[in-house]
């Protein structure tokens, strides 16, 4: 499992601000069958829709896709890649907590099965309390 967090890019590069220790936004869970799984965090203000997160991820990784007519859903063209679902997230670096909750109107609910265990193995989340619920 890999965690991709666009917070650093958004705050330091786009806004030219320090990375706040408390932040939140939307996320998507993307899987490349059967190889890898990605949790992609996007801070509030960077991505209006979950589809924007998927498009940005695909653009960075060279995966082809296209927006639907309403521009609220980004369909991945490669059948080995799939958006599992999405939701909202919040992180508090001081308290060392990461919370994943809710759902995406475009992609549905994320799959929490094994998510806490997988994320807890990521070095940047070492010592964090991770919760995946409402």
Rounded CA separation 122/26 (Å): 19
Rounded CA separation 15/17 (Å): 5
As a CATH number, domain 2-132 is 3.50.20.20
According to DSSP, residue 68 is labeled -
> Could you give the maximum distance between any two Cα atoms of the chain, in Å?
43
How is residue 32 written in tokens? 């490349």
Domain locations in the chain as residue ranges: 2-132
Instruction: Provide the pLDDT for residue 126.
Output: 93
State phi, psi for 125 to the nearest 5 degrees.
-110, 15
Instruction: Provide the pLDDT for residue 8.
Output: 95
Q: What is the pTM of this model?
A: 0.94
Per-residue pLDDT of the chain (134 residues; tens, 9 = 90+): 999 999 999 999 999 999 999 999 999 999 998 889 999 999 999 999 999 999 999 999 999 999 988 878 999 999 999 999 999 999 999 999 999 999 999 999 999 999 999 999 999 999 999 999 86
3-state helix, strand, coil in the chain (%, to 5): 20, 40, 40
Instruction: Provide the pLDDT for residue 69.
Output: 84
Torsion of CA 25, 118, 2, 15, to 10 degrees: 20
Instruction: Provide the pLDDT for residue 134.
Output: 62
According to DSSP, residue 123 is labeled G
Answer yes or no: are the C-beta atoms of 46 and 14 closer than 8 Å. yes
Instruction: Provide the pLDDT for residue 35.
Output: 82
């Amino acid at each position: 499992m890999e965690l991709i967090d666009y917070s650093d890019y958004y705050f330091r590069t786009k806004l030219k601000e320090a990375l706040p220790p408390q932040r939140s936004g939307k996320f998507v869970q993307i899987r490349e069958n059967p190889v890898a799984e990605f949790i992609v965090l996007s801070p509030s203000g960077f991505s209006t829709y979950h589809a924007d997160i998927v498009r940005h991820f695909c653009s960075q990784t060279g995966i082809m896709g296209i927006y639907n007519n309403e521009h609220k859903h980004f369909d991945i063209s490669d059948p080995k890649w799939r958006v599992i679902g999405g939701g909202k997230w919040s992180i508090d670096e001081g308290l060392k907590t990461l919370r994943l909750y809710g759902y995406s109107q475009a992609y549905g609910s994320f799959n929490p099965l094994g998510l806490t265990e997988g994320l807890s193995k990521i070095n940047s989340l070492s010592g964090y309390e991770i919760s995946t619920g409402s």
